Amino acid sequence: MKLSNIMLFKNIKDEDILKILDYVQAKKQIFQKGEFIINAGGSLKKFGIVLKGTAHIINEDFWGERSIITDVKEGDIFGEVYAVMYPRVCEVSAVASDETEVILIDAQKIMNFKFSCDLHSVFMKNIVEMLAEKNLVLTQKIRHMSKKRIRDKLISYFSSESIKNNSVDFYIPFNRQQLADFLSVDRSAMSKELCRMRDEGLIKFRKNHFHLEKNM
């Protein structure tokens, strides 16, 4: 992904982007599917930007039960809250869901940004916009999770994805187990509900592609 297309570097010249990356000691790394990019339980000095691939931000309880908090795709940042609050212990992990290329950035360097006022202003504005976008995503998930029934959670999530894609046809970034983890429901029960919704003419689906019917 071209760096200038990432929201963090919006309206910043290519030469200034390179200056910023050098100043914040950015490091590019590639992680394979299933590999941990961030591990819960330690302190985090650097946050990441996804250049290629996707990752899931997950939480695991004491007994190993996993839930997906959100997914991060090309252009998204992750881990920034804990990196800024270093040495606070990180309570979540980031796992590559396929081959994922990221840039890791020293958050403390960001906090002590020393370039021109104009460049600093644009860069910080971009950071605030990205944080606002992430807050919106988490707010949407809370709305899905607030539903009591599995069907209502699915309807809430599918409706949100349809609006985001401006279409009744869309792909979701999860397989069945990941979707169940995201909505914190039992996979078997969710799969049965999806089949019931399909049989009732509410949805059509194949793998992670979904189509919503008008009578939903």
Chain centroid to CA 101: how far?
Answer: 14
Q: What is the pLDDT of residues 166-204, one digit of tens each?
A: 999 999 989 999 999 999 899 999 999 999 999 999 999
Quick check: 8 pLDDT over 70? yes
Residue-level pLDDT at 93: 93
Quick check: 208 pLDDT over 80? yes
The amino acid that residue 55 corresponds to is: A
Give the end-to-end CA distance of the chain in Å, rounded to a whole number: 37
Q: At what angle do helices 176-183 and 187-199 cross, to 10 degrees?
A: 100
DSSP 8-state symbol, 12? -
Taking all residues of the chain, what is their mean pLDDT, rounded to a whole number?
Answer: 89
Q: What contacts 153, CB < 8 A, 6 or more positions away? A: 144, 145, 147, 183, 185
Q: Which two tokens stand for residue 128?
A: 């605030």
pTM here is 0.75
Alpha carbons 206 and 112: distance in angstroms, whole number: 48
Quick check: 139 pLDDT over 70? yes
pLDDT grade for 135, boundaries at 50, 70 and 90: confident
pLDDT grade for 211, boundaries at 50, 70 and 90: very high
Q: What is the pLDDT of residues 117-130, one digit of tens each?
A: 788 788 888 888 88
- Beta partners for 55? 72, 96
Check if the beta carbon of residue 101 is closer than 8 Å to that of residue 52. Answer: yes
Residue-level pLDDT at 101: 96
Share of residues in the chain with pLDDT > 90 (%): 48
Residue-level pLDDT at 24: 81
Q: What is the pLDDT of residues 62-107, one digit of tens each?
A: 677 888 888 898 989 899 888 888 888 898 999 999 999 999 988 8
Helix, strand or coil for residue 193?
Answer: helix
What would the 3-class secondary structure string for 127-181 be? HHHHHHHHHHHHHHHHHHHCCCCHHHHHHHHHHHHHHHHCCCEEECCCCHHHHHH
